[in-house]
Amino acid sequence: MTWSPALQEVIDEFSEIEDAMERLEILMDFAEEVDELPSDEWNEQNLVKGCQSRAHVVIEQRDGTIWMRAAADAKMVQGLMGILTIAINGMPPAKVLELTPDFVVEMGVLNTLTPSRSNGFRTMFDMIQKTVEEMS
């Protein structure tokens, strides 16, 4: 899989860090990249189900491109949302559907992509692609 230059830059940034805790600290900094979904827009439809933390994601299509707004109570989930924002915002739907979630393993921020209660990222990623698929 080849990534967009912006996402590749993020992957490279993580790959250079050897200390696992430092990687997580940088992951949390990516929370700033998220276009925040205000809490009054949180509802059952945009809730990421099966996630340990509370997470909401809204996907919108504008002028043929995909845009994401999101919020979560766990800082690392916010960081993952920030990286997803870099990965998909402003991309055409076809490109978003081509994306595979393994970049987070490559970054060394998650050790598994198997869906589970503690792996909200995979659930969130699948939810985003399903929404984009339904839109296109």
Partner 1 sequence: MSVRDDFPILARKVNGQSLVYLDNAATTQKPQVVITAMNDYYQNSNANVHRAVHTLAGEATEGYEECRTELKNWFNAERVIITSGTTESINLVAHSWARANLVAGDAIILTEMEHHSDIVPWQLLAQDIGVELRFVSLNEDLTLDMDAFKASLSGAKLVACVHTSNVLGIRNPIEKIIEMSHANGAKVLLDSAQAVPHEKINFSELGADFLACSAHKMCGPTGIGCLLVKEDSFNQMQPFMGGGDMIQTVTTAGSTYQDNEHKFEAGTPRIAEGIGWAAALKWLGKINLHDEHIRLLDIARWTADQIKNLPGMTVFGRHADGDSAVVSFIHDSIHPEDMARLLDAKGIAIRTGHHCAQPLMQRLGVEGTMRVSFYIYNDQEEAELFIETIRSIVERFA
Instruction: Provide the binding-site residues for partner 1, judged by CB under 8 A.
Output: 19-21, 23-25, 28, 52-54, 73-77, 117-118
d(CA 96, CA 31): 20
Q: What residue type is 116 in one-letter code?
A: S
Would you say 2 or 114 has its CB closer to partner 1?
Answer: 114
* Minimal distance, residue 21 CB to partner 1, in Å: 4
> Phi and psi (nearest 5°) for 104?
-75, -30
Q: Which is nearer to partner 1, 46 or 131 (CB)?
A: 46
- Report, in Å, the least distance between residue 52 CB and partner 1: 5
How far apart (Å, rounded) are the C-alpha atoms in residues 76 and 29?
9
Q: How far is the CB of 54 from partner 1 (least distance, A)?
A: 7
- Least separation in angstroms between residue 48's CB and partner 1 is 13
What letter represents residue 106's amino acid? E
Closer CB to partner 1, residue 55 or residue 66? 55
CB-count burial class (<10 Å; 0-12, 13-18, 19+) for 84: buried
Angstrom distance (rounded) from CA 83 to CA 6: 10
* Residue with Cβ nearer partner 1 (11 or 28): 28
